[in-house]
Amino acid sequence: MTIYIAIPRFALSGGNLVSLELAKYLESQGYLVYCISGFRSVKPSSVILRKPRRGKINSFANIYDYLITSFRALFYKNYIATHHLTSVFNFIKKSKFSLVQDVEVDFYPARIKFIGKLFWKNYLLSKNLIFTNQILCSRIIPEHNTDIEGLSFVPFTMDSNHDTSKTIDVLGIIRDGQYKDPQKTLEVMNLIERKGWNVKVINASRQQITNNNTINNCNREQFLKLLNRTKVFICLSKWEGLGLPNLEAFVAGCEIVSTPIPSAVTLKAVMSESIVIVNDANSNESIVDVVTMLLSGYANNSINTTERMRLLHEQYSKWLNYAERAINKGISK
């Protein structure tokens, strides 16, 4: 059985990481899997995700890739779209599957959101929808009955040679998009720094941030190394389809302060003491108080990272089983 799965531009992104891991899993289960991007078709084991460059040229390259990938999808029986623009011709022929990883219509600025809604509704026309977690599914299609279990994840191993001295008190990420709430995140991080804590901010946005505590152009490997040295990780996004950094921080032995995005809610369910959930009603000052409390009582030797990894892999295995069941069911129709 041959399955084609979209990996746009083979670009390094959270969505592509999740999609590629699903492709690798399906291949390990005996399926013949090809990852496609534009005119390229590559076996999962040969895919290398690279960090894309920003700018207009990159934007045009993205559009070109989406169109070619979507056109090719018309000729595949078992195609998994993984982004709402990887199945733009769904209105002509519905894709067999859509892997729904976020509320992607929210990516659009208000002035062109009506266009985004058209593409988004078109994406959801696929014959079978696979969701990365139940919370996301309920947000998009509340009445959609599924047997979703666990949540998607991108497995990794911590290098035993990594520095785990926990010299960073608080780590946060600034990302583009109003729903990521970069302004609130930056304000909270600055308040924490003024209290004398060692704060590091990863700038993954288009903003120019010149503080001495800012780290620019951080790749995933570097991010994992930073997490290994971090006591408290902060995520204040208004919404995310998953929130992969929370899961990585959990495995790295960080205490976590997060809004109730899917990864945070799941972590609260499997190990409630590992995370404090805050929301929009919390003032910046109250969030700083929570972080200060966690730092004051932080004890690195009491955190069992092996157990944390086991719990997370258990959730991930449940999700992979759900995804494979959904794919088998869709193929047999």
Which pLDDT belongs to residue 112? 94
pLDDT in the model for residue 145? 67
Angle between helices 244-251 and 262-270 in degrees, nearest 10: 30
Is the pLDDT at 104 greater than 70, yes or no?
Answer: yes
Where is average pLDDT lowest: 58-67, 102-111, 217-226, 255-264? 217-226
What's the pLDDT tens digit per position in 69-82? 999 999 999 999 99
Both tokens of 186, joined, read 């930056």
CATH number of 168-313: 3.40.50.2000
pLDDT value at residue 144:
73
Nearest to 261 by CA among 133, 120, 142: 133
Nearest by Cα to 155 from 26, 312, 13, 23: 312
User: Mean pLDDT for the chain?
Assistant: 92
Contacts of 304-313 with C-beta under 8 Å, sequence gap 24+, read: 305/158, 305/251, 305/252, 305/253, 308/250, 308/251, 308/253, 308/271, 308/274, 309/251, 311/270, 311/271, 312/153, 312/247, 312/250, 312/251, 312/270, 313/153, 313/155
Instruction: Report pLDDT for 164.
Output: 66
> Which among 293, 261, 260, 291 has a CA at the least distance from the CA of 277?
260
pLDDT at 67 over 80: yes
* pLDDT confidence of residue 136: 94
Task: Check whether 3 has a pLDDT greater than 70.
Answer: yes
pLDDT category at 205 given cuts 50, 70, 90 is confident
User: Using an 8 Å Cβ cutoff, are 198 and 229 in contact?
Assistant: no
Give residue 140's pLDDT. 93
Band of pLDDT at residue 229, cut at 50, 70 and 90: very high
Phi, psi of 257 (to 5 degrees): -120, 120
**CA nearest to 136, candidates 242, 236, 237:** 242
Question: pLDDT tens digits for 116-149?
Answer: 999 999 999 999 999 999 999 999 998 776 789 9
pLDDT of 160 > 80? The answer is: no
Residue 301 has pLDDT above 80, yes or no: no
For the ranges 51-65, 154-168, 265-279, the lowest mean pLDDT is seen at 154-168
Residue 308 φ/ψ, nearest 5 degrees = -60, -45
Residue 325's pLDDT band, with cuts at 50, 70 and 90, is very high
- Residue 17 dihedral angles phi and psi, to the nearest 5°: -65, -45
Domain ranges (residues) in the chain: 2-126, 168-313
